[in-house]
Amino acid sequence: AGIVQYNDWLEEECGNMAREGLRVLVVAKKSLTEEQYQDFEARYVQAKLSVHDRSLKVATVIESLEMEMELLCLTGVEDQLQADVRPTLETLRNAGIKVWMLTGDKLETATCTAKNAHLVTRTQDIHIFRLVTNRGEAHLELNAFRRKHDCALVISGDSLEVCLKYYE
């Protein structure tokens, strides 16, 4: 069971908004009986009073409630770049400095943001590094990237970690 019941529409719309560079927020609700609420509140208070691993315990209690919720709507918010981002990136590139953008965004949002910030040009090829879990997969994916000329790389943190483990 997930936070909300999976449906193709939600997945597709989240992807569409992410490709447009929007921050996506899914709004959902869950009705609780008085008994369910009292149980949650007791567990929540107990977790907040915990001396060890308080943050983890509180998060676990909250996550236990955030299951099988009813989808209400989906919103997309434009997150504008700060004023000096583009010229700063251009100055760094002109100085021969390689620039990395680290983000927790979905890959589609990160790609759109990189284009908007002129970190990559609109026509530049972008290699989206597929998820790798071992040295062999990382080797194949790195070789595919190396064969490309003037190409930007988009890689997830998990795949980057695998690559750095084997190729320092």
Q: Where does a domain end: 78, 97, 115?
A: 78
- What pLDDT does residue 1 have? 57
- What pLDDT does residue 56 have? 95
Report yes or no on 2 lying in a domain.
Answer: no
pTM of the entire structure?
A: 0.61
> For residue 115, what are the contacts with CB-CB under 8 A and spacing of at least 6?
121, 122
Same domain, 69 and 135: no
Same domain, 39 and 98: no
Q: Which of 3-7, 33-37, 55-59 has the lowest mean pLDDT?
A: 3-7
Task: Please tell me the distance from the alpha carbon of residue 125 to that of residue 146, in angstroms, as a whole number.
Answer: 13
Burial class (CB in 10 A: 0-12, 13-18, 19+), 109: buried
Same domain, 72 and 124: no
Same domain, 91 and 144: yes
Same domain, 56 and 98: no
Q: What is the pLDDT of residues 140-152, one digit of tens each?
A: 999 999 998 888 8
